[in-house]
Structures are given as structure tokens and as C-alpha cells.
């Protein structure tokens, strides 16, 4: 059994996962069970970061991946954001960067930002 701390929510349930069968014990919800299984077989993460934005009240706009991507892609994926520049206005959910390394997961805007005068 592998001991895993669930990171799905701040409760931090302590899971025991069977590496062979993928069976999970100690989870508080269905998402935790899925996380425990994946963490042993194919660990993934949701990434949050920021990109440049022109014409808004601040020079940075927060973004996140709209799904989890394989953990080993995390550091490579954030480097893609260096070349992204958005232009205000943007709306929460707008795509900032499409299809990260063929995963089908996008970076999306997490804060609506109006054009600033």
C-alpha cells in the first residue's frame, strides 16, 4: 500500500492506495478516490499561473489549466505562457492558450479584466 495525501481539497485526507489493484482507502469523496488511483498510476496536476495583459488595470492576468495535465509537463507548460499576451477586456473562462502539448487541455483566464482608462 502506498500512503498518499489527497490534494483535491484542503481537508487533506490520508489515503492508502494499493499499487497493484488501484484500490483506495481513507478517501472522503469520489474525487479523492480517483485522485488516489491516478497519483499512483499517472499523477496529474492543475496549473495556475499568470500571463501578460495589455490595457487592463494591472499588467498580469491569472490563468489556470481547465483540466489536469501530466505532472511531468508542469514546468514545460508554464514556460509556454511566457509568450502569451492578452488584451483587455477579457472574461473569466476565455482561452489564453489552446491545447497544451496535445493534451486537449487549455489555459483559461480566471479573472474578468476590463479595459482600464
Partner 1 sequence: MKYDVIIIGGGPAGLAAACGACENGAKSVLIIERAKELGGILNQCIHNGFGLQYFKEELTGPEYAERFINLVKDLPVQISLDTMALEITRDRKVKCVSSTGGYQELEAGAIVLCMGCRERARGAISIPGDRPSGIFTAGTAQRYVNTEGYMVGKRIVILGSGDIGLIMARRMTLEGAKVLACVEIMPYSNGLTRNIVQCLQDFDIPLYLSHTITKIIGRTRVEKVIVSRVDESKKPIPGTEIEFECDTVLLSVGLIPENELTRAAEIEIDPATGGAVVYENLETSVPGIFAAGNVLHVHDLVDYVTEEGKRAGAAAAKYALGEHRSGKVLKVESGSGVVGPVPQLIRLENVAKSQDIFFRVRNIYQQANIRVLDGDNVLCTFKRNHMIPSEMERIRVPRTILNQAVSDRLVLSVESREEEQA
Binding site for partner 1 (CB under 8 A): 5-10, 12, 14, 45-50, 52, 57-60, 62, 64, 71, 74-75, 78, 92, 110-112
Name which of 12 and 22 has its Cβ closer to partner 1: 12
Task: Look at the alpha carbons of 26, 30, 31, 33 in this order and tell me if their dihedral is positive or negative.
Answer: positive
Q: Residue 69 has which C-alpha cell?
A: 495535465
CB 4, CB 36: distance < 8 Å:
yes
Provide, rounded to whole angstroms, the least separation between the CB of residue 60 and partner 1: 5
Provide, rounded to whole angstroms, the least separation between the CB of residue 98 and partner 1: 19
Tell the residue number behind the cell numbers 489527497, with chain if given. Answer: 6
Name which of 78 and 88 has its Cβ closer to partner 1: 78
Measured distance CA(11)–CA(107) in Å, rounded: 26
Amino acid at each position: 500500500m502506498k500512503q498518499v495525501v489527497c490534494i483535491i481539497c484542503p481537508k487533506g485526507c490520508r489515503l492508502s492506495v494499493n499499487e497493484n489493484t488501484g484500490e483506495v482507502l481513507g478517501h472522503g469523496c469520489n474525487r479523492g478516490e480517483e485522485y488516489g488511483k491516478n497519483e499512483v498510476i499517472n499523477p496529474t496536476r492543475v496549473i495556475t499561473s499568470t500571463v501578460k495583459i495589455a490595457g487592463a488595470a494591472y499588467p498580469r492576468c491569472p490563468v489556470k489549466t481547465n483540466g489536469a495535465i501530466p505532472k511531468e509537463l508542469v514546468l514545460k507548460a508554464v514556460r509556454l505562457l511566457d509568450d502569451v499576451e492578452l488584451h483587455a477586456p477579457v472574461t473569466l473562462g476565455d482561452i489564453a492558450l489552446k491545447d497544451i502539448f496535445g493534451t486537449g487541455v487549455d489555459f483559461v483566464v480566471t479573472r474578468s479584466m476590463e479595459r482600464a482608462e
